[in-house]
């Protein structure tokens, strides 16, 4: 079993914190979360009970669809001895106009933490501001931090390290995955290159902050329109859908804009020979990635999906225990 690094408890205060974006955490805290995730994964694989959250309840608000996030959080709470309640925004009063702040205050009286998947990142911040319990971001239009924590765990498991690797993301640079990968990579000392068409480049503020954070960890950030340049000698190749949830009406226009940004054999020839391929899923084979790549020998997408469970259990344990 992976040893959990003993670090100064004063520096690592997780209890009661929110998990809204990776930039809120220090490199040490992120590495520690990954160690806890590995420890919890080992316990689960050995069939050893680990009810650290016995009697605790997670409320899960979903304003968008989900397979992985919903199931992994629900199973994670169960494995930790607690319980999760699925709250579709269609069914709760939030969907009929009850305010976010009232929802936050009411749920804080019943449950021990809230996970929310929604559109606007500001809504999650408002929820967190008004809640007296930890709030976890289960995806907004801007960020998908629980996914990227699972991605870091997957990369660490397959490559044996994080610092010094090069991660290349090809596709929509202005979406939640690109932003959280930017924040996550620079925290752990990975170089990151993002190739996107003009008009779909990452958010300027997030990029600037990532460049600055990278100067402290030795990470470099490259943003380019050229996928071949971006993928050169990459250890990790990542993509995501070209039209995210909520962008369905733009799907046709995006299909054209991203045509030259498909992750396929020809492009991946420029990556390192032993590169790994990640995709948060759901994927569209034949659009952002070919079946050859996502179903091929370099792909670790199902390990990545499994690691949602272990990474999120670490987040839950640390924020609630």
Q: Are 131 and 61 in contact (CB under 8 A)?
A: no
Nearest distance from C-beta of residue 172 to ligand NVA, angstroms? 7
Position 149 contacts ligand NVA (CB under 6 A): no
For residue 236, count other CB atoms closer than 10 A to its CB: 27
Find which of ligand CP, ligand NVA, none residue 67 binds, CB within 5 to 8 Å per kind. Answer: ligand CP
Position 68 contacts ligand CP (CB under 6 A): yes
Nearest distance from C-beta of residue 16 to ligand CP, angstroms? 25
**Backbone phi and psi for residue 152, each to the nearest 5 degrees, phi listed first:** -65, -40
Position 71 contacts ligand NVA (CB under 6 A): no
Q: Which is nearer to ligand CP, 125 or 306 (CB)?
A: 306
Closest CA to 280 of 117, 53, 123, 83: 117
Q: Are 248 and 288 in contact (CB under 8 A)?
A: no
DSSP state of 223: E
Position 42 contacts ligand CP (CB under 6 A): no
Restricted to residues 180-209, the positions that interact with ligand CP (CB under 6 A) are: none
Query: The tokens 């080992």 sit on which residue?
Result: 42
Residue tagged active-site, from 44, 79, 147, 312: 147
DSSP state of 149: H
Position 69 contacts ligand CP (CB under 6 A): yes
Q: Are 21 and 183 in contact (CB under 8 A)?
A: yes
DSSP 75-119: HHHHHTT-EEEEEETTTSGGGGT--HHHHHHHHHTT-SEEEEE-S
Find which of ligand CP, ligand NVA, none residue 175 binds, CB within 5 to 8 Å per kind. Answer: ligand NVA
> Which listed range, 28-36, 186-194, 241-249, 300-308, lies at the site for ligand NVA (CB under 6 A)?
241-249
Q: Are 176 and 244 in contact (CB under 8 A)?
A: yes
Find which of ligand CP, ligand NVA, none residue 177 binds, CB within 5 to 8 Å per kind. Answer: ligand NVA
Position 137 contacts ligand CP (CB under 6 A): no
Position 240 contacts ligand NVA (CB under 6 A): yes
Nearest distance from C-beta of residue 228 to ligand NVA, angstroms? 23
Residues with catalytic roles: 117, 144, 147, 240, 280, 308
């Amino acid at each position: 079993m992976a040893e959990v690094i003993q670090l100064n408890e004063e520096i690592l205060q997780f209890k009661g914190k929110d998990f809204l974006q990776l930039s809120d955490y220090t490199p040490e805290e992120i590495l520690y979360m990954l160690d806890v995730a590995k420890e919890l994964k080992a316990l689960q694989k050995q069939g050893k009970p680990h009810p650290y959250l016995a009697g605790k309840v997670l409320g899960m608000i979903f304003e968008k669809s989900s397979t992985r996030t919903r199931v992994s959080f629900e199973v994670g709470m169960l494995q930790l001895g607690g319980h999760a309640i699925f709250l579709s925004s269609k069914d709760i009063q939030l969907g009929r106009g009850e305010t976010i702040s009232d929802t936050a205050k009411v749920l804080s009286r019943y449950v021990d933490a809230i996970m929310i998947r929604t559109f606007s990142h500001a809504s999650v911040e408002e929820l967190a501001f008004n809640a007296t319990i930890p709030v976890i971001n289960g995806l907004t239009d801007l960020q998908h931090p629980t996914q990227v924590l699972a991605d870091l765990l997957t990369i660490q498991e397959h490559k044996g390290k994080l610092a010094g690797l090069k991660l290349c993301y090809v596709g929509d640079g202005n979406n939640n995955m690109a932003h959280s990968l930017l924040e996550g990579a620079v925290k752990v000392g990975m170089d990151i290159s993002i190739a996107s068409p003009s008009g779909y480049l990452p958010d300027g503020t997030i990029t600037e902050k990532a460049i600055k954070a990278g100067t402290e960890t030795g990470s470099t950030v490259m943003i380019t329109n050229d996928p071949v340049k971006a993928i050169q000698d990459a250890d990790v190749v990542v993509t995501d859908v070209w039209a995210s949830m909520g962008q369905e009406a733009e799907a046709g226009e995006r299909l054209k804009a991203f045509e030259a940004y498909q992750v396929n054999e020809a492009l991946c020839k420029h990556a390192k020979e032993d590169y790994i391929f990640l995709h948060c899923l759901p994927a569209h084979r034949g659009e952002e990635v070919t079946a050859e790549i996502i179903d091929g020998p370099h792909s670790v997408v199902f390990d990545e999906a499994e690691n949602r469970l272990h990474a999120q259990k670490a987040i839950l344990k640390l924020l609630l225990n």
